[in-house]
Structure 1
């Protein structure tokens, strides 16, 4: 996990998450700073940023904090230096597959919602164009 450490402000900028949100994820055990500075500031690595990005991507798909934690634990175990046994690996991969299926289903639902929203906006634009009420 080498490399430079970043303070929470830089991590917030890179992940587009607020400081408050990052601290909340730390309080709930989803992410932990890799180190602390001599002054007590939280220090994060690229791996920590990647973990926060997973969380950020799961949130709009409706995954709960417990589901986020479960997926991250499965991935952590798969990536551990002392990897899982073959049987444990199969179980962990099935957990990851389950989250992938859920994410794909949610993406499909969001595509339908987006298409409906775009149709609605187009209906309004057509109405405004027809009535000559467009703005330039």
Structure 2
């Protein structure tokens, strides 16, 4: 880490960096201690000095954290930003995220416009549909494509079982496990491996938590999860998860000695 007698142009203190990015000084200090984001320089007086490059790295951390990744996961997913190729990779990932948000917001906008037309034509209000749109918007649309595939009975189950906080927590865990399965798939890890089976066990426990032990919901969940042709980024991602998860679940249930999907 370079040392400077005073604060040269292009550098900023921890307080200035925190103000620019909307995080707290304590958060930046914590990331520094954890080895997640160390400032590029230090003054002779011991003041930690950040650069614009550090702020870009911080943006990566904030983005990954908002998706539910742990700090350990984030350490392994950060792009180094040492070369133009590194920067291009980071920009590609950011662009993909923006495209997905655009798709989700467009779908929400379509739902709102359709509901408006229904209200004007029928002179009645479908408050259930209205409430679902509002919930999707409050959840920042992260789960929009999943929620819109559920039927009314399943949506009622979700409303009764989860509030906003517990629902977001559930989706964070669901997305983390899905990302882990994709990561294992891309790394060529066998579905039979102990590493994969540990993740599959967590995934199945999450499904059991969602159903509250009601196995009669499984056929509906299978229907929701089945995707023939992906129409958006979420569905494309889910197809990747399914391709790896299905054989892994077969191994899991075989070792368990039972298959709840084959019951009845």
TM-score for the superposition, normalised by structure 2: 0.31
Q: Aligned to 1:53, which of 56, 59, 80?
A: 59
Q: 1:57 aligns to what SS in structure 2? A: helix
| Greater RCO, CA 8 A, separation 6+ | 1
1:117 matched to 2:123? The reply is: no
1:18-33 matches, cutoff 5 A: 18-33=24-39
Corresponding residue for 1:134?
A: none
Number of residue equivalences: 97
Segments of structure 1 that go 5 or more residues without pairing to the other structure are 84-92, 121-136
Q: Deviations over 1:46-76 (max 9, x none)?
A: 010111111112212111101110111xx21
Root-mean-square deviation (CA), in Å? 3.6
Q: Shift in Å at residue 116 of structure 1?
A: 4.4
Q: 2:39 aligns to what SS in structure 1? A: coil
CA distance in 2, matches of 1:27, 1:21: 10
1:1-136 matches, cutoff 5 A: 4-72=10-78, 75-76=79-80, 79-80=81-82, 115-117=133-135
Displaced runs of 4+ in structure 1, greater than 3 A? Answer: none
CA distance in 2, matches of 1:119, 1:51: 28
Segments of structure 2 that go 5 or more residues without pairing to the other structure are 1-8, 109-131, 139-264
